[in-house]
Structure 1
Amino acid sequence: MRTGRLAFFVAALMLVAAMVPSALGAGTAASASPAVLAGVPVAGVSSYVDGAFVSTDYAYDDHDVAYPDGLTNAADLVQLHIGLDGGAVHVRAILETLRDAHVPVLGVGFDTDNNPRTGMASFPGGRWTANPALGLDAVAVVHSAGGWLLRPAGARWTTVARFPTRVDAGANLIDATIPLRPGAARWRMYAVLGAADANGHDWVDGSQPISDLAFVGDEAPANWQHQHQDAVLAGAADSRAAGALVDFGLLASRATRPAPPLGPGFHTLLYRSRLRLGEGIGQATIDAPGRTPAPVGSLYAGPYQPYLVWLPGHLPPRPPLIVHMHGFGGDHTSDAGEFGPVRSDKTVAGLFIGDGGFTPPAVVAFPLGRGENTFYMGPAEQDVLDVTTDALARFGADPDRVVLSGVSMGGFGTFRIGIRFPDRWSALVPFIGTGGSAQYEFGAVPGPVLDEVLSPSRFPAGAAELLDNLADLPIRMVNGQVDPLVNNVLVSQDTLRLDQLGYDYRAWVLLRRQHEVVPALSNCVLLEALTHRRQVDPAHVVLAVEPAMFMHDPATGLDLHYDHAYWVSGVVVRDGADTGSVDVTSLARADRANDSSRIVAAGENVTSGADLCGPNDAVHTGDAWREVGIELRPARSRQPVGNGLGASLRAVSDVTLDLGRMGLRVDHPLAVAVTGDGVANVRLVGPWTGRRVVVERDGTRVAVLHPTRALLTLTGDLSGRHVYVLRSSPS
């Protein structure tokens, strides 16, 4: 039985409580236009793509490499292409990081007779103890200074040809045409990558290590996925795992032979990010206004970002998607052990990576979040959004059934990202996380001090005050009563706020648990979350906005604005205010009201089997818990409908509403009731062009408008409550 996993450290909680993350530090200036990955980039998988043999490697699998001269991630192979150029072998290597063209050294080995008993046992330099022998009949060494083709001469290698090379630091690639002509033969090939030091020494002369092998697959979903590769390099695993049999006849015919579909279990995927963060492994920081940025660990700045996926035994044609974020100190593989059937074999590894329990019938994507300790802010937040987009496209997943979830720091991220983009998700499931209600934990600290070290509205990351945004997004929370890291006071205040708002929520507190996740006990929570569908055009939208949390950096391409959701956009908070909010209801929707039931319950599985949702004979974890929540369901009586809307604006000077998505018409009289607290613009998007619009305010005609585009703006002092009626006719 899985009893829990520590995913977060006290120091991390103290840090995030003391500083507001506004951006994550990046590395040096970014390269321009890194190469596009070919095919479907799945790590450890090879296929034929339009006349090229394409093999994708694991990103950042050089974690244990001792690079020279303080280099990091300097020779990390992401993808290798093998093709033909005028009948000669062409190779292209795409790297995660390529800042200095003189650093990477690529080696390509050829067993041309497919006989490991002939040729050389391994590459020159002795840094790969191949077991069994590779039987290399030729090796091409590719470097910025040129290429060398080596052939065996007795027990030594000798250079038999030179050839030109291209090492493009802007595109992160190494390119060369090797003077070997395979015809239509099938050759077994190997490839290695390493870094040269400042004196030009590298793996070829044995002075520097080989940092990466091509073609190695079947890496376990743990610890940056380099253990199998390390074992192959050390001779402890079969060297044939690092070889590929390449059919040059297929390359000559420009064949495409896709890899087999991904089966159940874990797979590592890569996508190409549009951000320009400087490559390499930099320093992630958390900033606070007027304070020195605090380092929080590594920032994986490269253009090719990995994420893990778990696939169940069966998926429907348009499967749901769960995006699950790791805790502090973890990576995209850290929560792999929580997923899959409960494993009865008790191993030491199981104590650290889990023994299963979460079994949702969904694609589960695990983002890296650009680092182990990034709190899903800035580039890390963008990574979560990009992984969501990529996974939806790759698996044909249903965009209306996307659950955002996470553990510990990932639970914090679930609040943070879910609340800021409420229209992207169908449900939120934070485990041992909180909305960061700092005013309750630090209530005795004077306001000016909080303003200095926290966000302008006194929340780390400004999440809790935005709980209003969950009007159309169910949330399910699971926490431990005696959690020493995520204070249960914070969790209780989040729960109280959701209860005050009357939103659809559930909150379970495990009375005997600390900072732990119990998958078998909580699996039903994920299953219930999958029953919800994303609200695309709800009848009622609430959007609270905190401009201080916006991020716009033209240098990196990072642009995160939280001023829109559903059919509301362009929310501008009035000067001098920290936050603003809009609350808008379409009167054209008969389903704009809900009936509700309050949930107050307790449970245990000490005396009989149960999970958090009810009796379950298969679950005996020795737990007791309490549950509170509100269940919402469509009202039994339909609401009267009309062509109008009601809006409440607080500290907002500008807002745009899409009338079509609200179900409203411009060719009928349109009533707009607005309650505000100052001058504001209410912009109404609709088919206004070519129409004459008579505007009445509180029963008095105030204007006749002739819109020239699909936008009509109501402007004025909206303090108090005012009713506009718009009567339009063709001009």
Structure 2
Amino acid sequence: MKTYAAVLLTLSLLTSACGGGSSGSTNPTPTEPNDDVFTVERLWRDAGFGLAAADEVVDNVYIAMDYVYDDKGANTNGLPGGDSSYPSGEPYFGNAADIVEIRLGHQPGSDSLWFGSRLNTVQNPTVAVVAIGIDDGSSPEIYNDWPFAAGVKAKGVRYVLTLRGTTATLTDLKTSQSQDFYAENYNDTGETARNLENTLSVEIPMAALGLKREQMPPEWRIYAVSGLWNGSQWSTPPFDVAFYEDDFTNWQQNKQADLLAGGDISEANAHVHFSEFPNRRSPVRTGQQARIYPSPISKIIGEGITEWKQGIQGLEIPTLNHYRGLYLPYSVWIPESLGEASTPQALFLFLHGASQNHLDMLNAFESGTVNVPAYTIAPLGAGELSFYKEEGEIDVLSAMQDFMTHYPIDADRVFLSGLSMGGQGTFSIATHWPELFAGAIPFIGTGQSTFNEDIPIDEIGNEKIPEQRWMNSTGRELLENAHNLPWRMQNGMLDPIVNPTWPAQDVMRMQELGNDYQWALFHTETHNVNASYQNALYHQVLNGCQSAEIPGCVLSRDPNGLRRDTNPARVIYKIIPFHFTERLGLRYEGAYWVSGMEVKETPSDGSFGLVDATSFALAHKLKTGRETLGPDPLVIFEPTLGSYQFQGVRHLNNEEQTSPRLEARLENLSAITFDMARAGLTQNESREVIINTDTETQVTFKNLKAGTAVYYPDKDPMLVNDSGFISFTVPASQGEMYRVELE
């Protein structure tokens, strides 16, 4: 199986072979971490929890994480948010002074402290400046301007540490004295030092802060701002402020912008309680939260905000922004009941529509209209109009992986959903990665692969795939891959953007393939998601409407909810190499217990390879039965009194007799691997594998017991070695099956 962890590993290995996108870096040579000696490596060794606008203490390091892409500066025109702008192009890329983290480290018994900042985009480490203010409680009357024309001040701040390039200046605002220190600036690091990427750090003697060894104060208030440096002072007012919680709109910087407009940042501070060292966990929060995570591909694609040019009908057209930061954001909804959850819970992904971002998606959760007892995340998708292709797809999967790393998630109850463009992204991602999800739930979406063009009804199964397409989905051409992935869809009959004939064609293709699907088409809805129906549908797939009395939720449609089957009896998987993104290491080579698929010939963009394999050792899980639901032309939806037409097909488990046999039909494949353990074929008894292929194929069995004898037609038998792998060539069938026996 090609697990998502394997995808991240592939991306990680690929990044180590690629250069970064930065210039002007003069990295110090990192030393080996030593717990007895506090160094820059120790300051940045441990990753933060990832909750934005929150802080924690990890092994004597205070860590505060900020929002990303909130570096819009002051509000000077009266409209919501900041209106500062960077110089165009390199090295700024619209994100050159975006604070990700502020850190403060102190080893008990040492005579120094370490301060550090991390920025999201650093193309040239000499252009940005970060100032950290320290209120040590000694001078509450001080209210002085910060040095080097920073343009801000804060009550009680006595010391200001100004970091830029390889210099850090500590200024005492009470005495006006200053000292320079060497700053360690890491940029464009190698793979083994990515934890240091885009960091600027300095060691400050305690004596310079009026402290003696073992004389740490009970607490400090600290402040931080960032901006641009012209070589001798700030060249602009600050672009970003740390330690300031903001609303879930407009990149979470509206309040910050108003604060910067006045120049007084006294409200934006963090309490550092040294009594909490060496460890204090990040706060447990419920409701809507913001998280950030380190992108696994930033070293490949570079950093900053750029135009995202996409191929549309043969033309390269800019389509809003491509967010390439070292860190990327996503929004999170945590119900109050799950605030302290320790047992695995379900997770919903909710992908945004065109021209939206991750901050637009959770209002119905805030209002209580959607009240499902599960976690929900809304990824950025690397852009407002990415259609969840390439970097957008990786962002969705990476955000999912990040959340599952930090929260207790039941991996067999992860549901992919989205609206409009996010609904189309649901089609694309779910058909590429069906083994990751328990269900796919596109709202006002479609699997249409052409650009706003209807497909004649009699050609749906043989849809022509246009060259250089980008917009819309790639899902319909891969619906074979959804054999084990139930689809639950909602559209509007009056939708002026997603023509209802398009999802109707998706449904016809699902019917042709015998897939498990349900489709509700609301009679009077346009291009909008009925949040009450979203709530009902989420409850339906979660537990069959059993968590509470949910208006509009129909128990009989999924009586027990949906769960992923990691080892289904039958695997159908189709790959189209045109979908691959080799520069990102993004390939689709199988699902469940099938992997290593390689297409033999690709004469056109639509060329594909396909496997249809059944393990009769798992025949008790074969879903050969079908229950037809509807069609019902008029269903009244109780919460809104609206109406919809409904139809569907649900797979039923027939509990067939098992036998130690695997049958596989291959099309246009040069290689394929079967995991015999996951297919249930590791017994000591005799087993049979029957293969029908239209071209010569290299077949590999893995996870076999060492010493297993493999018998081929007209060949001497071979024994499986300690690796558990064995490979052999299967000729084109030419009407005859290729039989392999294992004993």
- Provide TM-score, normalisation by structure 2: 0.81
Letter of the 1:544 partner, please give it. Answer: K
> Which residue of 199, 203, 209 maps to 1:180?
209
> Which residue of 240, 243, 264 maps to 1:215?
243
1:567 CA drift (Å): 0.3
1:149 CA drift (Å): 2.6
| 2:619 corresponds to 1:587 | no
Structure 1 residues 460 and 215, CA, compared in 2 at 3 Å: closer, same or farther? closer
Between 1:308-317 and 1:663-672, the stretch displaced more is 663-672
Q: Distance in 2 between matches of 1:451 and 1:468?
A: 16
| 2:668 corresponds to 1:651 | yes
What corresponds to 2:103 in structure 1?
81
What corresponds to 1:189 in structure 2?
221
Query: Is the 8 Å Cα contact of residues 688 and 742 (structure 2) preserved in structure 1?
Result: no
Letter of the 2:238 partner, please give it. Answer: I
What corresponds to 2:650 in structure 1?
631
Structure 1 residues 89 and 624, CA, compared in 2 at 3 Å: closer, same or farther? same
Query: Is the 8 Å Cα contact of residues 540 and 592 (structure 1) preserved in structure 2?
Result: yes
Local SS of the residue matching 1:414: helix
After superposition, residues 203-602 of structure 1 pair within 5 angstroms as: 208-217=236-245, 219-235=246-262, 239-248=265-274, 250-251=276-277, 255-262=278-285, 264-275=286-297, 276=299, 277-287=301-311, 291=314, 293-315=316-338, 317-342=343-368, 357-438=369-450, 441=453, 443=455, 453-454=467-468, 462-530=474-542, 531-553=561-583, 558-576=584-602, 578-588=607-617, 589-602=619-632
1:604 CA drift (Å): 6.6
Q: Distance in 1 between matches of 2:150 and 2:570?
A: 64
1:463 CA drift (Å): 2.2
1:582 CA drift (Å): 0.9
Q: Distance in 1 between matches of 2:715 and 2:272?
A: 77
Between 1:306-315 and 1:572-581, the stretch displaced more is 572-581
Structure 1 residues 245 and 576, CA, compared in 2 at 3 Å: closer, same or farther? closer
Query: Is the 8 Å Cα contact of residues 122 and 128 (structure 1) preserved in structure 2?
Result: yes
1:240 CA drift (Å): 4.6
Letter of the 2:242 partner, please give it. Answer: A
Letter of the 2:620 partner, please give it. Answer: A
Structure 1 residues 676 and 295, CA, compared in 2 at 3 Å: closer, same or farther? same
Identity %: 28
Structure 1 residues 199 and 430, CA, compared in 2 at 3 Å: closer, same or farther? same
Q: Distance in 2 between matches of 1:463 and 1:319?
A: 28
Q: Calculate the aligned-residue CA RMSD, in Å.
A: 3.1
1:393 CA drift (Å): 1.4
What corresponds to 2:124 in structure 1?
100
1:552 CA drift (Å): 1.2
1:450 CA drift (Å): 6.5
Higher relative contact order (CA 8 A, sep 6+): 1
Structure 1 residues 159 and 292, CA, compared in 2 at 3 Å: closer, same or farther? farther
Query: Is the 8 Å Cα contact of residues 708 and 719 (structure 2) preserved in structure 1?
Result: yes
Corresponding residue pairs, total:
649
After superposition, residues 38-117 of structure 1 pair within 5 angstroms as: 38-63=47-72, 64=82, 66-70=84-88, 71=92, 72-84=94-106, 86-113=110-137, 116=140
Deviations 1:109-167 (A, max 9, x none): 22222664x1125535776666xx512222222222623232336xxx83332322233
Query: Is the 8 Å Cα contact of residues 372 and 539 (structure 2) preserved in structure 1?
Result: yes
Structure 1 residues 721 and 439, CA, compared in 2 at 3 Å: closer, same or farther? farther
Local SS of the residue matching 1:210: coil
What corresponds to 1:346 in structure 2?
none
Query: Is the 8 Å Cα contact of residues 614 and 663 (structure 2) preserved in structure 1?
Result: yes
After superposition, residues 24-43 of structure 1 pair within 5 angstroms as: 29=21, 38-43=47-52
Deviations 1:306-351 (A, max 9, x none): 1111011213521111111111111111112122444xxxxxxxxx
Letter of the 2:693 partner, please give it. Answer: G
1:301 CA drift (Å): 0.9
> Which residue of 163, 167, 176 maps to 1:158?
176
Structure 1 residues 298 and 266, CA, compared in 2 at 3 Å: closer, same or farther? same
Query: Is the 8 Å Cα contact of residues 30 and 278 (structure 1) preserved in structure 2?
Result: yes
Structure 1 residues 641 and 150, CA, compared in 2 at 3 Å: closer, same or farther? closer
Query: Is the 8 Å Cα contact of residues 190 and 214 (structure 1) preserved in structure 2?
Result: no
Query: Is the 8 Å Cα contact of residues 311 and 468 (structure 2) preserved in structure 1?
Result: no
Structure 1 residues 303 and 97, CA, compared in 2 at 3 Å: closer, same or farther? same
Structure 1 residues 250 and 645, CA, compared in 2 at 3 Å: closer, same or farther? closer
The runs of 5 or more residues in structure 1 that have no matched partner are 1-25, 343-356
Deviations 1:5-34 (A, max 9, x none): xxxxxxxxxxxxxxxxxxxxx998258999
Letter of the 1:722 partner, please give it. Answer: M
What corresponds to 2:677 in structure 1?
660
Letter of the 2:421 partner, please give it. Answer: M
Deviations 1:554-598 (A, max 9, x none): xxxx11111110001111222146012111111112231342221
Letter of the 2:481 partner, please give it. Answer: N
What corresponds to 1:12 in structure 2?
none
1:548 CA drift (Å): 1.1
> Which residue of 679, 702, 707 maps to 1:685?
702
What corresponds to 2:552 in structure 1?
none
Local SS of the residue matching 2:678: helix
Letter of the 1:655 partner, please give it. Answer: I
Q: Distance in 2 between matches of 1:259 and 1:691?
A: 51
Structure 1 residues 459 and 428, CA, compared in 2 at 3 Å: closer, same or farther? same
Between 1:508-517 and 1:310-319, the stretch displaced more is 310-319
What corresponds to 1:353 in structure 2?
none
1:401 CA drift (Å): 0.7
Structure 1 residues 552 and 527, CA, compared in 2 at 3 Å: closer, same or farther? same
Between 1:136-145 and 1:473-482, the stretch displaced more is 136-145
Query: Is the 8 Å Cα contact of residues 521 and 646 (structure 2) preserved in structure 1?
Result: yes
Q: Distance in 1 between matches of 2:138 and 2:357?
A: 39
Letter of the 1:138 partner, please give it. Answer: Y
Local SS of the residue matching 2:360: coil
- Provide TM-score, normalisation by structure 1: 0.82
1:723 CA drift (Å): 5.1
Q: Distance in 1 between matches of 2:52 and 2:514?
A: 45
Deviations 1:580-624 (A, max 9, x none): 21111111122313422211254778xxxx64xxxx4xx12x422
Structure 1 residues 101 and 286, CA, compared in 2 at 3 Å: closer, same or farther? same
Structure 1 residues 686 and 201, CA, compared in 2 at 3 Å: closer, same or farther? closer
Deviations 1:180-238 (A, max 9, x none): 14422135333333333556441xxxx51111112112x222221112222332359x9
1:485 CA drift (Å): 1.2
Letter of the 2:102 partner, please give it. Answer: L
What corresponds to 1:140 in structure 2?
161
Q: Distance in 2 between matches of 1:288 and 1:707?
A: 50
Query: Is the 8 Å Cα contact of residues 88 and 181 (structure 1) preserved in structure 2?
Result: no
Structure 1 residues 676 and 258, CA, compared in 2 at 3 Å: closer, same or farther? same
Structure 1 residues 604 and 168, CA, compared in 2 at 3 Å: closer, same or farther? same
Q: Distance in 1 between matches of 2:683 and 2:137?
A: 76
Deviations 1:280-323 (A, max 9, x none): 1122222379x553321211111111111101121352111111
Letter of the 1:81 partner, please give it. Answer: R
